[in-house]
Structures are given as structure tokens and as C-alpha cells.
């Protein structure tokens, strides 16, 4: 902490960037509400076990990736690395399993203790939805459609490809996993060092290894879809039929996997190549096993999450952010008029008009700054105007100026703002 700087992997959201985030969040709230998802929030930290229990063997995540600490009472807490576990925990602790199905939308900061890189901060922000209760493939279809609709609303859907895969149910996955491990063990010596480790820890992850040698071996590896039982095949085909009906374009991606045991059936990601290595813009899937792993009843669930920073980078480039700064400024010409100008600014704000009221500099400086801030109308008030009970109303776009009586001012300004 030698210099005063933000904690590694965190960043300030100044108004320019904040406006982009607002756009993403507001669009997502509106779009998911069209599907009946309602906004809720969970705490940004939980007992560590909420996040560690569902993870099983993937020790890297717990020890390396979680932002965990002990509080003063000695409780181990973790800043939420994602929101699904928290939402499911809220469902269990709140007894909400009595009111299924639940459709939730959330937005907020998440934390992972990782080496920062493009689009991966230690504090980042996500939006997401969770659909709790239904096991039907049509629920998956609604969730995916809501994601596609959000991307379309943001104007970025055409830069994304929907990758879709089925992991099958627990029995199908166990059978495939055994077959894959057997196949890879035969060639273990040729695997990359990373994949040798994955073979013991999380073999499905080898499927999306970036190592060329691994990819070569995988050419003849057993295929996940060949191990799906009838029920799993039916779920997937019902989903793809629904997506086709809704006009949601998708691409079958047999290498798209989820390593954790509570995942099943649907896995999907909207991927772009416009953001470097971190190409997933919005991703999710079905997690029917999660609630039980957290110690609750067996409640199915399906959902997705999306990084606000990544969406803002994509959408911000093409969607001009709505300027929220005032378009009208009240400028006093000298100190004697300041208090009257302040009162005038308040009166106009009472009338519902956004007012900028600069307090420093000469009238020339105030006008200069107002012009630079893209103020449309300057209301100039000085000794002469106080005597005559009027103001100078100057249009900074065309340089025209007129006298307006104080009593008419609010109406005149409101009308002028409506003009183009």
C-alpha cells in the first residue's frame, strides 16, 4: 500500500463506465421481467461452506480462487464468487420451497481471488437469472430465450454464437466419465502435464484443453452424446425443438462441459470472439443437484449469469450512453446576484428541470464551461435582471439570447427543452 491505489483487481466505476453498466442492468431487468423473473438480492458474502460444499474435488477453486477470510468471531466467510449458490441457499433458508416455482433476477458484485486479466477482475459484476423448481426442458428453453433476448436488446446478439450441449443426467454422466477416463488412461503418457492432473481431478475438463497434443488425442475419444440414456436424449431434443420454434439459433458443441457434479442436462454459452481469450458473454445450465448438496430438499434449477463488464464493453461501443447531465444552467454574473440565482435554480428544480449551478469563476468562465458540458440553455442573472425581474435566456447552440420575465421562465425553459 505504498501509493494510494485501489486493491488489486478492483476498479472505480466513474460516470462514463457506470452509465454503461446501468444500461446493461436496466436492459436485463426489463428483459427478464418479460419472462416473469423478479429482482432479488442475496448478501455479497456467505459462510464459506455455501460455496465450498458444492465443489467436491475441485480443490483449486476453494483454495486458490475464493476470496475468503475469517471474521472477528472466527467464522470463515467468502465473498460470493457467483450468485447461484447464494440464491439456492436463500430459497432453503427462507422456506421458499413451499412457493415453487421461483423466478429470480439479480445484479451485483462478485469476487474471485485470481490474477486479473482482460475482463476478469477480482471484483466484477454480474447479472443473472435462476428458475427454481421445474425439471421440464421448456424451462431451459425459457431461460436461454431470455438470455438471447437480452443480448438482442443490447445489440450484441449478432456478435455471439450460442453453444449448446447436454451433459445428461447423473447416470449418463457417470457412464461417460468412466469411459472417457478409461480411454485417456490408455494414452496418459501423451497427455499434457495439465491434463494428467485433470485426469484425476476433473477429467471432463480435458475436453476443452487448449493443448494441441490433447486435442489430437481427443479426436477419437468417446462422445458424450453416445452415453446419454433415453430420458436425457428426450430432454435435449425437447429443448432444441423449443429453441428452433422460438427462432433461437444454436450450435451443438460436444466439448462444452461443466466439471461439477451437480450439473446435468443443459449446458450453454453465448460466445464472442470480440473480447480476446475471455469469450463467454453469458453462460449457464441446469443444476438439479445443487440444492441437495447444500443440505436442502431436492429442487431442480436452471439459470445463467453474464458479466456486466464484458457486456458493457460489447454494447458500449455501439450503444451511445444516455447523457444524464443537466441541459440547463443558471449563471449569476456577480456575487450580489448569487443568492437570487441559487433560489432561481431551486425553483426550476421544483418545476422538474435538471439544473447545473456553477459557483466559481467569472460569467465568461461559467459560459465557457457550460458550452463544453453541452449545456443547451444558459439562464443569466445579474443586477440589471434583478431590478427588472427578468433573466437573459441564452441558447448556447445558436447563440441567440432573449429576455424572459421571471414568472414565465419555467414554462419557457420547459418548452425550449422539448424543441430539437
Rounded-to-integer distance, Cα 195 and Cα 211, Å: 9
CB nearer to RNA: give 46 or 136.
46
Counting contacts by CB under 7 A, is residue 209 touching RNA?
Answer: yes
From candidates 32, 37, 81, 137, binder to RNA by CB under 7 A: 81
Choose the stretch contacting RNA; rule: CB under 7 A; options: 129-137, 162-170, 200-208, 215-223: 200-208
Contact of 303 with 134, CB cutoff 8 Å: no
Write out 323-355 in H/E/C secondary structure. CCCCCEEEEECCHHHHHHHHHHHHHHHHCCCCE
Counting contacts by CB under 7 A, is residue 61 touching RNA?
Answer: yes
Counting contacts by CB under 7 A, is residue 126 touching RNA?
Answer: no
Quick count: other Cβ atoms within 10 Å of Cβ 364? 9
CB nearer to RNA: give 50 or 242.
50
Residues in the chain: 420
Q: Is 363 exposed, middle or buried (0-12, 13-18, 19+ CB in 10 A)?
A: middle
Counting contacts by CB under 7 A, is residue 64 touching RNA?
Answer: yes
CB nearer to RNA: give 49 or 237.
49
Contact of 166 with 228, CB cutoff 8 Å: yes
CA nearest to 280, candidates 399, 159, 388: 159
Pattern 265-294, RNA, x by CB under 7 A: -----------xxx----x-----------
Quick count: other Cβ atoms within 10 Å of Cβ 242? 19
Counting contacts by CB under 7 A, is residue 164 touching RNA?
Answer: no
Q: What is the nearest approach in angstroms of RNA to the Cβ of residue 14? A: 11
Torsions phi, psi of 196, nearest 5? -60, -40
Element (H, E) at 214: helix 212-218
Counting contacts by CB under 7 A, is residue 211 touching RNA?
Answer: yes
Dihedral angle sign, alpha carbons of residues 242, 248, 252, 256 = negative
From candidates 363, 406, 410, 414, binder to RNA by CB under 7 A: 363
Q: What is the nearest approach in angstroms of RNA to the Cβ of residue 175? A: 21
Helix axes 15-33, 137-153, angle to 10 degrees: 140
Q: What is the nearest approach in angstroms of RNA to the Cβ of residue 241? A: 26
Q: What is the nearest approach in angstroms of RNA to the Cβ of residue 193? A: 9
Choose the stretch contacting RNA; rule: CB under 7 A; options: 147-155, 220-228, 256-264, 349-357: 256-264
Cell of 95: 422456506
Q: What is the nearest approach in angstroms of RNA to the Cβ of residue 89? A: 13
User: By the criterion CB under 7 A, which residues form the site for RNA?
Assistant: 2-3, 5-6, 8-9, 51, 55, 58, 60-61, 64-66, 81-82, 84-85, 112, 114-118, 194, 197-198, 202, 205, 208-211, 258-260, 276-278, 283, 333-334, 360-365, 367-372, 380-385, 392, 394-399, 401
Amino acid at each position: 500500500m505504498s501509493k494510494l491505489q485501489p486493491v488489486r483487481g478492483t476498479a472505480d466505476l466513474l460516470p462514463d463506465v457506470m452509465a454503461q453498466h446501468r444500461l446493461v442492468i436496466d436492459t436485463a431487468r426489463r428483459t427478464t421481467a418479460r419472462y416473469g423473473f423478479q429482482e432479488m438480492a442475496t448478501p455479497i458474502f456467505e459462510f464459506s461452506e455455501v460455496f465450498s460444499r458444492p465443489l467436491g474435488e475441485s480443490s483449486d477453486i476453494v483454495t486458490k480462487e475464493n476470496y475468503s477470510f475469517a471474521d472477528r468471531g472466527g467464522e470463515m466467510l467468502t465473498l460470493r464468487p457467483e450468485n447461484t449458490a447464494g440464491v439456492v441457499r436463500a430459497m432453503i433458508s427462507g422456506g421458499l420451497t413451499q412457493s415453487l416455482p421461483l423466478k429470480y433476477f439479480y445484479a451485483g458484485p462478485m469476487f474471485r481471488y485470481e490474477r486479473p486479466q482482460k475482463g476478469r477482475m477480482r471484483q466484477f459484476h454480474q447479472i443473472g437469472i435462476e428458475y427454481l423448481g421445474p425439471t421440464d426442458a421448456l424451462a431451459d428453453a425459457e431461460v436461454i430465450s431470455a438470455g438471447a433476448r437480452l443480448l438482442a436488446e443490447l445489440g450484441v446478439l449478432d456478435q455471439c454464437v450460442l453453444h449448446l450441449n447436454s451433459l445428461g443426467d447423473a447416470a449418463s454422466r457417470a457412464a461417460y466419465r468412466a469411459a472417457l477416463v478409461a480411454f485417456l488412461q490408455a494414452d496418459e503418457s501423451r497427455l499434457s502435464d495439465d491434463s494428467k492432473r485433470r485426469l484425476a481431478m476433473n477429467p471432463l475438463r480435458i475436453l476443452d484443453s487448449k493443448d494441441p497434443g490433447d486435442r489430437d488425442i481427443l479426436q477419437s475419444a468417446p462422445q458424450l452424446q453416445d452415453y446419454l440414456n433415453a430420458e436425457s436424449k428426450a430432454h435435449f431434443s425437447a429443448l432444441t425443438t423449443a429453441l428452433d420454434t422460438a427462432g433461437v439459433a444454436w450450435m451443438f458443441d460436444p466439448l462444452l462441459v461443466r466439471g461439477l457434479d451437480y450439473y446435468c442436462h443443459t449446458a450453454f454459452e453465448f460466445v464472442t470472439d470480440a473480447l480476446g481469450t475471455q469469450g463467454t458473454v453469458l453462460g449457464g445450465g441446469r443444476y438439479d443437484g445443487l440444492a441437495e448438496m447444500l443440505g436442502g430438499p431436492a429442487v431442480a434449477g436452471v439459470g445463467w449469469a453474464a458479466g456486466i463488464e464484458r457486456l458493457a464493453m460489447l454494447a458500449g461501443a455501439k450503444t451511445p450512453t444516455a447523457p444524464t447531465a443537466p441541459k440547463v444552467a443558471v449563471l449569476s454574473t456577480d456575487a450580489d446576484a448569487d443568492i437570487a440565482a441559487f433560489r432561481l435554480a431551486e425553483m426550476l428544480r421544483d418545476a422538474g428541470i435538471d439544473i447545473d449551478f456553477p459557483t466559481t469563476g467569472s460569467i465568461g468562465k461559467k459560459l465557457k464551461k457550460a458550452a463544453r458540458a453541452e449545456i443547451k440553455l444558459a439562464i443569466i442573472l445579474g443586477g440589471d435582471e434583478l431590478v427588472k425581474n427578468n433573466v437573459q435566456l441564452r441558447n448556447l447552440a445558436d447563440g441567440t439570447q432573449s429576455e424572459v420575465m421571471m414568472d414565465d421562465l419555467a414554462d419557457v425553459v420547459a418548452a425550449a427543452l422539448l424543441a430539437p
